[in-house]
Structure 1
Amino acid sequence: MNANPHDSSTSGNTGRVVAIILVAAVAVLALAWALGLFNVDASGKLQAPDVKIEGGEVPDVQVETADVSVGTETATIEVPTVDIDKPGDDGSANR
């Protein structure tokens, strides 16, 4: 059996998976920002650094995140029950 180097059945899926993960990460961050779970304030020069070996100036960034409290509580709830009456085997399904 000779492997085809142009077979994209596995290599094509890798790019798709990476793209889906990136889109999901951006969507989660956008949703968190929209819900006010964090706030980003940037100060200083907001310009791209000069392309030199020395680098550029990075702005001061302050990120404030939401306080999230996770706890438990005891509650009593009614859970519906489901009764299933199985049909008798009278042979009618074979007709």
Structure 2
Amino acid sequence: MRALVTVLAIVVIIGIIALATGFISLSGKGGQLPKVAVEGGRLPTVGADVGDIDLGTKNTTIEVPDVETKKKTVEVPTLSVEKAR
């Protein structure tokens, strides 16, 4: 599988180089879309019975964890950049 992908990649690269150097020249004529006429017809009708959704709030007592933060001095990496002269 790996060899197949490698060979395919080499073939694509060779093709790009051949086009870029002018070894291969591609030309073609402009195309044209077909003319399509639609007459008559009717959109389909779809019926759907759906349920009701009520969105609201209520007061409830729940257990919530108490999170505590502390300040601590730690060593962090720094980066300095100087402009080229």
Q: TM-score range by the shorter chain?
A: 0.3 to 0.5
- Answer 1 or 2: higher relative contact order, Cα 8 Å, separation at least 6: 1
- So what's the TM-score if we normalise by structure 1? 0.31
Q: Which has the higher helix share?
A: 1
- So what's the TM-score if we normalise by structure 2? 0.35
- Higher CA-based Rg: 2
